[in-house]
Amino acid sequence: MVVFLTELDPRARVKGSRDGLGAQPIWSAMGRPLIGNLTTVTRDLAGFITLLVGLRLAELGPAQDDAGRQAAFLVWEQMAGYVRHEVHSHRGFFGRQRVAARAAGASGTGGKVTLSAAPDRQILSNQKTDGLLGNYTAPARASALVAPGAPARLTPVAAAFVDATYLPRLATAWGRAAKDLTKALAAETVSFNLRPNSRRDAVAAVFGAPLTDDERDFYRRHLVNGGPHDQTESRQRRLATLIRLRRRQDGQLFGAYVAQLIADAEQHGWPDLAERLHRVAICESVLAPAAVLFSHLLSRDDAHLDEVVTDLRSQWGERLGSVRPEAAVLLPEQQWRDIAAALVEGDYPALVRALAQRNATVMRERGGGLPWLEVTDQDRLRVRFRDEPTDLPAADETRDLWWYPYFLPSLMDVVASVEEGAHE
């Protein structure tokens, strides 16, 4: 089974990526039995399409070595990004900020932009690691779209699909089998015209909506259902069915939506799926308030523990009713079980100390760094990593807290794109 311990979505990085409590392995382990192939950042169907077409074009091109094929892919990723921005108004792709800025400046160059794998022309600080190759290749491999090993190459099934589906669209302006495009991608620099023209429009057609029936079937099989090597015992396929049947409503709280999915799974006679979703909800009932409280504590340097506890009781009462007691048994690490028990019992002094101890363990495991938070012998908080001030939510608001993704938003987005035929 391929296991991903991915960084949080960059759009959530301000609040989550530092992960001073080491929560990521916990929520990831809870999410993987439900969703086996996607990561927190692989939410974009058009990103997968860009990857597949780019790898195929690089393989068909004249480059004689892996470095040349990689460079060709990076140029294709740039070209696709400009077209997605200019023609389709897509927003959720890697490098969009640089693409938008350079596209805006193209009015002074006759609508043309320069594409190149050279560092100064890349659309990310390191396009190889921070773009599609670095983020989408492993999930595509888990979905049986990219073959095992390095460098990345399509599986025969994926290559045949690209040849039958996307190369004909490109061939309308780039020659048979997109030969002119593969040749252009291998050049040191490419001058690409963003104004309406047949070659730009042929690239745009790769991302055309709605999806064809063949596209929808292909991506449903490989991405939505987890691929032919799915390791979730069909839970991902069944979860995707529930997501398709019950879309999350605008403004609906995420926890309420998960509760609906649990009820739907039970109604469909899928107790194993309901149980796994229930475990996620139990886990989050601890992780979310723990994360919020820890962030709050990082803004309370030199505060006395008694003062902090008084503030906690003022906001949360004697105990948080939203915390599931089962978490004290379900969570896999003793320190997290201690945090859960302190939340369940309303033992706020023990809770603050448990969070500090958890952070000390995380820092030690990361190489011996000093803890961000300590409780001194004088019962005062010592904060070494100060965060922006974070207010504690009221007790009734903690019921609605949902802090970690468990890969659920990624599956929801891919299901919506595949079933509705819209990339963005």
- State the DSSP string of 192-210: EE-SS-HHHHHHHHHT-SS
**Assigned token pair, 313:** 């009781």
* pLDDT tens figures, 321-331: 999 999 999 99
Q: What are the boundaries of each domain within the chain?
A: 1-34+270-404, 45-218
The string of DSSP codes covering 51-120 is HHHHHHHHHHSS--SHHHHHHHHHHHHHHHHHHHHHTS----STTHHHHHHHHHHGGGGTTEEEE-SSGG
Distances (CA, A) of 122 to 114, 127, 194: 10, 6, 17
**If DSSP codes are grouped into helix, strand and coil, which group holds residue 185?**
helix
Q: What is the pLDDT of residue 110?
A: 94
Tell me the pLDDT tens digit for each residue of 96-126: 999 999 999 998 899 999 999 999 999 999 9
Q: Which residues make Cβ contacts (< 8 Å) with residue 258, sequence separation at least 6?
A: 277, 280, 281, 402, 408
Instruction: Name the packing angle between helices 132-142 and 66-86 (round to 10°).
Output: 100
Q: What is the pLDDT of residues 269-323, one digit of tens each?
A: 999 999 999 999 999 999 999 999 999 999 999 999 999 999 999 999 999 999 9
Angle between the N-to-C axes of helices 198-206 and 66-86, in degrees from 0 to 180, rounded to the nearest 10: 100
pLDDT of res. 8? 34
Q: SS in 3 state form for 259-309?
A: HHHHHHHHHCCCHHHHHHHHHHHHHHHHHHHHHHHHHHHCCCCCCEHHHHH
Mode of pairing for the β-strands spanning 373-375 and 381-383: antiparallel
Contact in structure between 202 and 221 (CB atoms under 8 Å): no
E strand intervals along 285-406: 373-375, 381-383
Task: Please tell me the distance from the alpha carbon of residue 410 to that of residue 424, in angstroms, as a whole number.
Answer: 13
At 129-140, the pLDDT tens digits run 999 999 999 999
What letter represents residue 275's amino acid?
E
Q: Per the omega criterion (within 30 degrees of 0), is the bond before 25 cis?
A: no
What 8-state DSSP symbol labels residue 190?
E
Over residues 30-80, the pLDDT tens digits come to 999 999 999 999 999 999 999 999 999 999 999 999 999 999 999 999 999
Is 408 exposed, middle or buried, given 0-12, 13-18 or 19+ CB atoms closer than 10 A?
buried
For residue 112, what are the CA distances in angstroms to 77, 115, 190?
16, 10, 10
| Host H or E run for residue 191 | strand 190-193
Q: What is the mean pLDDT of the chain?
A: 94
pTM score, whole prediction: 0.92
